[in-house]
Amino acid sequence: MRRNIVAGNWKMNLNYSEAVDLINELNAYDKPLNTELIVAPPSLYLGAFKDAQNNLLLSAQNVHTELNGAFTGEISSTMLHSLSIPYCIVGHSERRTLFHETDALIFDKVKSLLSHEISPIFCCGESKEEREQGDAYKVISQQLNLLLSKLDAGQIQQTIIAYEPVWAIGTGLTASPEDAQLMHHHIRKEIAQHFDVSVSENISLLYGGSCKPENAAALFSKQDIDGGLIGGASLDFSSFISIAKSFS
Ligand code: 13P
Probe residue for ligand 1, chosen from 164, 173, 212 as the CB with the greatest number of ligand atoms within 8 Å:
164
Q: pLDDT tens digits, the chain, 248 residues: what are they?
A: 899 999 999 999 999 999 999 999 999 998 878 899 999 999 999 999 988 777 799 999 999 999 999 999 999 999 999 999 999 999 999 999 999 999 999 999 999 999 999 999 999 999 999 999 999 999 999 999 999 999 999 999 999 999 999 999 999 999 999 999 999 999 999 999 999 999 999 999 999 999 999 999 999 999 999 999 999 999 999 999 999 999 97
What CA–CA distance (Å, rounded) separates 13 from 30? Answer: 25
Contact 161, 205 (CB under 8 A): yes
| Ligand 1 binding pocket includes 170 (Cβ within 6 Å) | yes
Contact 118, 88 (CB under 8 A): yes
- CATH number of the domain bearing residue 135: 3.20.20.70
| Ligand 1 binding pocket includes 230 (Cβ within 6 Å) | yes
What is the per-residue pLDDT for 32? 78
| Ligand 1 binding pocket includes 208 (Cβ within 6 Å) | yes
Q: Which residues are known to be catalytic?
A: 92, 164
What is the per-residue pLDDT for 53? 73
Best CA proximity match to 60, nearest among 116, 21, 127, 104: 116
Domain boundaries, position 215: 4-244
- Residue 176 is classified by DSSP as -
CA–centroid distance, residue 196 to ligand 1 (Å): 30
Q: Whose CA is nearest to atom 2 of ligand 1?
A: 231
Contact 85, 63 (CB under 8 A): no
Atom of ligand 1 nearest to the CA of 209: 4
| Ligand 1 binding pocket includes 165 (Cβ within 6 Å) | no
What is the per-residue pLDDT for 104? 98
CA–centroid distance, residue 55 to ligand 1 (Å): 22
Atom of ligand 1 nearest to the CA of 232: 3
Contact 77, 118 (CB under 8 A): yes
C-alpha R_g of the chain: 17
| Ligand 1 binding pocket includes 209 (Cβ within 6 Å) | yes
What is the per-residue pLDDT for 36? 95
Best CA proximity match to 88, nearest among 78, 98, 73, 102: 78
| Ligand 1 binding pocket includes 228 (Cβ within 6 Å) | no
Number of domains in the chain: 1
Q: How far apart are the first and last CA of the chain?
A: 19
Give 98's contacts (C-beta < 8 A, 6+ positions apart).
none
Q: Return phi, psi of residue 64, to 5°.
A: -90, 160
Q: What is the pTM of this model?
A: 0.97
Q: Whose CA is nearest to atom 9 of ligand 1?
A: 231
Probe residue for ligand 1, chosen from 5, 6, 9, 240 as the CB with the greatest number of ligand atoms within 8 Å:
9
Q: Whose CA is nearest to atom 7 of ligand 1?
A: 231
Strands (E) across 85-193 are located at 87-90, 119-124, 160-163
What is the per-residue pLDDT for 34? 86
Q: Provide the sign of the torsion angle of the four alpha carbons 132, 201, 56, 30, taken in this order.
A: positive
Best CA proximity match to 217, nearest among 165, 163, 174: 174
Contact 10, 39 (CB under 8 A): yes
What is the per-residue pLDDT for 177? 97
Distances in Å between the alpha carbon of 121 and those of 29, 70, 93, 236?
24, 26, 13, 21
What is the per-residue pLDDT for 33? 86
Residues in the chain: 248
- CB neighbours (10 Å) of residue 32? 6
What CA–CA distance (Å, rounded) separates 174 from 98? Answer: 22
- Residue 85 is classified by DSSP as -
- Residue 32 is classified by DSSP as -
